[in-house]
């Protein structure tokens, strides 16, 4: 959530910057809310001053033995009006908060301006795509060849955009998640978290999914929502807390399934595992000092990149333009891995700095150098999306016979298995 003072003091600049996302700020609606607030607050202050003056006069009258009844009646009337004003002020403040809750974050000044993904800017490219001496297959065909990836059974069990993995492919999927967790905890200083997969509405509001996004899937328990990402439960660990200065930055890593009602644009990426209703992700979350959060963003992005480098997967990093960023983000790097089956780079991680946008909703604070509470900055990124990493390994390490070589970094996690062989018969 944006600081309301930004809108009160520099509404035109905020509206101009939001237009780059693009988002049309209803400045007139905000001015109308502010006018209502000012009227109520001004009258409240007048009555409070009057009530204080009357209290003094009543005391003086009683001290002199004079009749204080008229003054007391006037004071009672002022108190009654103040009670009504408190209700009116609460209503106005609620409407202001509702208005603010629909406004996206302001893009950082370093974010390129643009209305769509075509204006994203490539920052770096690591590794060269493999040159095959045979026609490479995509992961769907490779999954069929190994017998370990079954979409037809998933349709029978659940429906479209789900997958069943068996045998070495399921093992490879598990190995990838374990490998990621070990690298991030042992080498990058993250604390592993096991978090709930069901959260309440307050948690989704805190990280910005509600009220903007209303298609978050609900669990059977009714009042709970299935998590769209581990960002939600992990970031909410610091909701309504004050973190000691010396503890920053907090670094957490969490492996969970993720659930999405909408798995992408209709008709897009319906083949295979690229866009699914359920997928696994290893999520990185940092709670940072505001003065250091952009250095933390670079570090977090680098931590995600290490996984791809250890696996020997070609990738590139792009900074998203204003029109392609998420609702809560101030700046986002997308890491895109090369998929031979599509002859294209595809997103495998998004690493974002939300500045104080989420923290303001969460009331997540730290004690600054002067000992005063101040909002933290929150960051997160995929480290990595496990299913898409599996897709990338399958396609980049495929063999002409339909088998798959296991990257050396995963050998310790595969019980000595170095190849996923094609199914026999």
CA distance 98 to 360: 14
* 275 labelled catalytic: yes
Helix (H) or strand (E) holding 303: helix 293-311
Which is catalytic among the residues 21, 161, 275, 361? Answer: 275
Q: Which two tokens stand for residue 104?
A: 């996206």
Peptide bond into 266 cis (omega under 30): no
* 350 labelled catalytic: yes
Per DSSP, the three-state class of 78 is helix
Which is catalytic among the residues 203, 350, 352, 382? Answer: 350
The maximal CA–CA distance of the chain, rounded, in angstroms, is: 109
Name the one residue in this structure whose structure tokens are 């294209």: 344
CA distance 224 to 218: 6
Which is catalytic among the residues 161, 260, 360, 361? Answer: 260
Per DSSP, the three-state class of 353 is strand
Which is catalytic among the residues 34, 74, 81, 347? Answer: 347
Please report the sign of the dihedral spanned by the C-alpha atoms of residue 260, residue 178, residue 378, residue 232. positive
Please report the sign of the dihedral spanned by the C-alpha atoms of residue 215, residue 217, residue 223, residue 227. negative
Per DSSP, the three-state class of 313 is coil
**Other beta carbons less than 10 A from residue 107's beta carbon:** 22
CA distance 300 to 306: 10
* 260 labelled catalytic: yes
Which is catalytic among the residues 251, 360, 365, 388? Answer: 388
Which residues are part of the catalytic machinery? 260, 275, 347, 350, 388
């Amino acid at each position: 959530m944006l600081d309301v003072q930004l809108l009160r003091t520099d509404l035109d600049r905020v509206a101009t910057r939001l237009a780059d996302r693009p988002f049309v700020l209803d400045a007139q609606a905000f001015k109308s809310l502010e006018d209502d607030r000012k009227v109520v607050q001004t009258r409240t202050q007048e009555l409070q001053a009057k009530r204080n003056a009357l209290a003094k006069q009543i005391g003086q009258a009683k001290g002199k033995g004079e009749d204080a009844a008229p003054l007391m009646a006037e004071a009672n009337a002022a108190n009654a009006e103040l009670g009504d004003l408190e209700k009116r002020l609460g209503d106005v403040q609620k409407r202001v908060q509702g208005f603010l809750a629909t406004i996206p974050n302001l893009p950082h000044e370093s974010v390129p301006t643009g209305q769509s993904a075509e204006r994203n800017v490539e920052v770096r490219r690591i590794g060269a795509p493999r040159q095959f001496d045979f026609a490479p297959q995509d992961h769907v065909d490779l999954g069929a060849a190994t017998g370990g990836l079954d979409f037809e059974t998933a349709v029978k069990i659940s429906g479209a955009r789900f997958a069943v993995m068996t045998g070495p492919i399921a093992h490879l999927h598990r190995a990838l998640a374990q490998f990621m967790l070990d690298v991030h905890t042992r080498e990058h200083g993250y604390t592993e978290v096991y978090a709930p997969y069901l959260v309440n509405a307050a948690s989704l509001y805190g990280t910005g999914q509600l009220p903007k996004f209303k298609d978050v899937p609900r669990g059977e328990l009714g009042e709970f929502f299935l998590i769209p990402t581990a960002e939600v439960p992990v970031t909410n660990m610091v909701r309504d807390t004050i973190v000691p200065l010396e503890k920053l930055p907090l670094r957490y890593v969490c492996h969970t399934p993720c659930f999405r009602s909408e798995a992408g644009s209709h008709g897009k990426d319906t083949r295979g595992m690229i866009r699914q209703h359920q997928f696994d992700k290893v999520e990185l979350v940092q709670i940072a000092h505001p003065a250091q959060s952009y250095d933390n963003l670079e570090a977090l992005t680098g931590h995600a990149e290490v996984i791809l480098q250890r696996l020997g997967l070609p990738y590139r990093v792009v900074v998203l333009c204003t029109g392609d960023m998420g609702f809560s983000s101030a700046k986002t790097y997308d890491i895109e891995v090369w998929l031979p089956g599509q002859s294209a780079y595809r997103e495998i991680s998004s690493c974002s700095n939300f500045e104080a946008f989420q923290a303001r909703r969460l009331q997540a604070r730290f004690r600054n150098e002067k000992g005063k509470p101040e909002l933290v900055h929150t960051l997160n990124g995929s480290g990595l999306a496990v299913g898409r990493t599996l897709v990338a390994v399958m396609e980049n390490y495929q063999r002409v016979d339909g088998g798959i070589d296991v990257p050396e970094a995963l050998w310790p996690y595969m019980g000595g298995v170095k190849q996923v062989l094609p199914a026999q018969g």
